A and B are shown apart, each in its own frame.
Chain A
């Protein structure tokens, strides 16, 4: 159950469109099913009333869409940002990826998004409609009565350990100002670290071998905004094709995570869009955890203009070999 309603958002967007502040609205619209909400651009109040959606499945992070959209539109673009989206927003501003003057950002509160995989675990396949009210009402083609599910039970993995309810960037805020949560988001990573190397290898082999290289994790990632991606290079031998063996699976995921290391805001889009439900955020969080431990606490996107750990240095940094020594003595 989200605190803010669809009607409030439409009202706000329609008012800003009518007032001429913005010429386009980035929002969510209904997809083929009730749970695959897709990003869309709206230009009029009629379009908003017809297609705009706001419910527990509006996970998409719009920050990345601004890179293409803000440059194209004549006037300003209205964008709705959930707290974790605002970190990506700041990070993209730090990297000069879009013009801040062409964006009107409205911060909206978020109570965490639902994970359809978890819902399907409860209700099975054959979902015909989902109604997000006080509870999530799921109707399947096999039952007459909808199954009522508490949104708290089906929270997406990334939202279970939400890092912040605070908006770090906005022009206007709807609802109340939240706070940064000291969540246990590194617990999962620590759990894997505590395994033996053989167990870790088996764990990741099991997860990564499901990868079909659809590139959704890269395409949805607000940190991956290179116009030419290394994985599209036809000379690389790994361009747009399914991994041929376990090496290629690992290489893709190591390099993908490495390319966003230090810039990843931990929004969890990679895991949300993964059709194979690979917990990709655990790779990114490992980098974040390491960098926090080695080089001091750093949250990408908290402020505009900060230097990421990997493009910075101090003369007394930890040696790569010491990393393991320190961990082994801790254990």
Chain B
């Protein structure tokens, strides 16, 4: 019997104006990052509702990362400032409920930082892989 190698599933919410373009640049530059990172494009990082993060975990994500423009560079002037407050509160709450804090992250990646995008994803994927499967926020009904 062949044992399936464990690969973490990572959901990355990337803002349209910076991080998504950063991911594009990483691709153009032929930089490697794990194929297990699934990118979801959002108009702004502050579009990410706490429910999105929980839903991602429910549907099988092992880690969720939110990428946006650097503070001060938001396309909509102040969107990422709100993201920063919201996610600080949400991640702190998840930690309070006993969910591993390494599974969630917020990172600022600009359109010019293709290398940073690839490095961030590599680092995050290996951190999550070390934790193993997400058991604490899983929904068995969503497992295949």
In the bound complex, do residue A254 and residue B50 qualify as a contact, i.e. CB atoms below 8 Å apart? yes
0 or 1 for each of B53-85: is its CB under 8 Å from A? (1 = yes): 010011000000000000110000010011011
Contact B88 A318, beta carbon cutoff 8 Å: yes
**Contact, CB under 8 Å: B84 / A317:** yes
A40, CB-defined interface residue at 8 Å: no
Interface of B is mostly: helix
Within 8 A of B (CB), among A256-287: 257-258, 261, 283, 286-287
B94 cross-chain contacts in A, Cβ below 8 A: 254
Bound CA–CA A257/B58 (angstroms) = 19
Q: Does A320 contact B (CB under 8 A)?
A: yes
Measured between beta carbons, the chain B residues less than 8 angstroms from A244 are: 141
Contact segment of A4-12, A137-145, A169-177, A289-297? A289-297
Q: B residues within 8 A CB of A291?
A: 89
Q: Contact: A250 with B97, CB < 8 Å? A: yes
Residues 88-101 of chain B: 1 if any A CB is under 8 Å from the residue's CB, otherwise 0?
Answer: 11111111111111
Check if B85 sits within 8 Å of A310, measured CB to CB: yes
Query: Is there a chain B Cβ closer than 8 Å to A192's Cβ?
Result: yes
Given contacts A197-B98, A245-B140, whether A320 and B87 have CB atoms under 8 Å apart is yes
Q: Known: A200-B97, A201-B99, A321-B105. Contact between A247 and B137, CB under 8 A?
A: yes
Smallest CB–CB gap between A73 and chain B, Å? 37
Contact string against B for A residues 308-320, beta-carbon threshold 8 Å, 1 for contact and 0 otherwise: 0111111101111
In the assembled complex, which residues on chain B have CB atoms less than 8 Å from the CB atom of A250?
54, 97, 137
State the CA gap A324–B96 with chains docked (Å): 11
Whether B106 is near chain A, meaning CB under 8 Å from some CB there, is yes
Task: Report whether A324 and B141 are in contact in the complex, using a CB–CB cutoff of 8 Å.
Answer: no
A201 to B94, CA, bound (A): 10
For the complex, what is the distance from the CA of A208 to the CA of B73, rounded to whole Å? 40
Given contacts A255-B54, A283-B93, A202 and B98 within 8 Å (CB-CB): yes
Complex alpha-carbon distance, A287 and B92, angstroms: 8
In the complex formed, the residue of B with least CB distance to A205 is B98
CA distance A314 to B58 in the complex (A): 33
Asked if residues B88 and A309 are in contact (CB atoms below 8 Å), the reply is: no
Cα A128 to Cα B89 in complex, Å, equals: 46
**Is there an interface contact between A255 and B92, defined as CB atoms closer than 8 Å?**
no
Contact of A313 with B91 at beta-carbon distance under 8 Å, contacts A200-B98, A201-B99, A204-B98 already known: no
**What are 25 A-B interface contacts by the 8 Å CB criterion?**
A199-B98, A200-B98, A230-B51, A245-B140, A248-B139, A250-B97, A250-B137, A251-B51, A251-B58, A258-B50, A258-B90, A258-B93, A261-B89, A283-B93, A286-B96, A294-B89, A295-B85, A309-B85, A310-B82, A315-B81, A317-B71, A317-B85, A318-B88, A323-B91, A324-B101
Report A's interface with B, CB cutoff 8 A.
Answer: 192-193, 197-205, 230, 244-245, 247-248, 250-251, 254-255, 257-258, 261, 283, 286-287, 290-291, 294-295, 309-315, 317-321, 323-324
16 other contacts beyond A309-B85, A317-B71, A320-B105, with CB at 8 A cut-off?
Answer: A192-B96, A197-B99, A201-B99, A245-B139, A245-B140, A245-B141, A250-B97, A251-B51, A254-B90, A255-B51, A258-B93, A290-B89, A313-B82, A315-B72, A315-B81, A321-B105
